[in-house]
Amino acid sequence: MQIDELPEEIQGLIEQLDEAAEDEDEEAVEELTEKLLTTGVDMEALTLKKLSISVMDGEEEISAGWTKVALKIGIDPFKTLLEGLAAGMSLIGDKYAKGEAFVPQLMIASSSMYGGMELLAPYMEANTSGEEPSTVVIGTVEGDVHDIGKNLVKTLLSANGFNCVDLGNDVEADRFIEAAKEYKATAVSMSTLMTTTMAEMPKVISMLESGGLRDKVKVMVGGAPITTDYAARIGADVSPDDAAGAASWLKEIITSSPSNTDRWN
């Protein structure tokens, strides 16, 4: 959808909704949403587009406002996250890769994404039917302070009923091992955005093997420089294409694997 090609009336309402979101005027946001619905515009496409643009531009209040619109009109929260908020991070990530954006823009954009994610989180909590959730130890490897991708994976895993132990960024190898043992983890998930820190991943896997823990946990690796071939070479179980893929893969593996108790006892 090209917003600048929409009728002037609709563009005017969009601008008003942006202003209301900036002012954190929730009543006005709701009223303008209702008005837009009466125009016949494709509200789902419009909302996802506005979310991606507002995240890319680092407009946190506008991103939050359109996240509320998404919730109001009933867009699936996972779709809102992946095709709206996360899509915006992909856009700014592409600009960063081309030298058209820099670290400050990435940080501002990530703040915009996180604000929307917080609003969506209560609507993405899975029903675990009283069963104890499987635990995933997750972190960005030592030497890398980036955590946008890691946080997105954490959000999707949490929404799918997993208990995520978030070690943060710049995580030393032995902390992954200690946490896996402490929490009797189902999986360890490592990420990096830098080629210079990729070697930390096989280090963790080697430590799991030497400690007799490798058969107890699945290992997921991801990040911009990580490929499926690299994951296979270092002995990881998988390198998902995206956060949704990580959640889907792990859910499928859980159903066909021994129980947590059987693996750790």
- Give the model's pLDDT for residue 131: 55
Indicate the domain borders of the chain. 3-123, 135-264
- The arithmetic mean of pLDDT across residues 189-201, rounded, is 96
pLDDT of residue 128: 44
Q: Tell me which of 82 and 63 has the higher pLDDT.
A: 63
d(CA 167, CA 139): 5
Fold of domain 3-123: 1.10.1240
Determine the Cα–Cα distance for residues 3 and 164; give it in Å rounded to an integer: 38
> Could you tell me where the DSSP H helices lie in the chain?
8-22, 26-38, 43-56, 60-73, 77-79, 86-97, 103-120, 148-159, 173-183, 200-210, 228-234, 243-256, 260-264
User: Could you tell me the pLDDT band of residue 195, with boundaries at 50, 70 and 90?
Assistant: very high
* pLDDT above 60 (res 126): no
Query: Is residue 90 classed exposed, middle or buried when 0-12, 13-18 and 19+ CB atoms within 10 A define those classes?
Result: middle
User: What does the pLDDT average to over 184-190?
Assistant: 97
- Ranges 66-80, 98-112, 133-147: which has the least confidence: 98-112
Average pLDDT over residues 2-29: 97
Residue listed under structure tokens 């499928």: 252
Q: What is the mean pLDDT of the chain?
A: 91
Top-level class of domain 135-264: alpha beta
How far apart are alpha carbons 53 and 206 in whole angstroms? 42
Residue 192 · residue 164 · CB < 8 Å: no
What local confidence, expressed as pLDDT, does residue 160 receive?
76
Q: At what angle do helices 243-256 and 148-159 cross, to 10 degrees?
A: 40
Q: Does 261 score more than 80 pLDDT? A: no
pLDDT of 165 reads 97
Residue 159, pLDDT score:
73
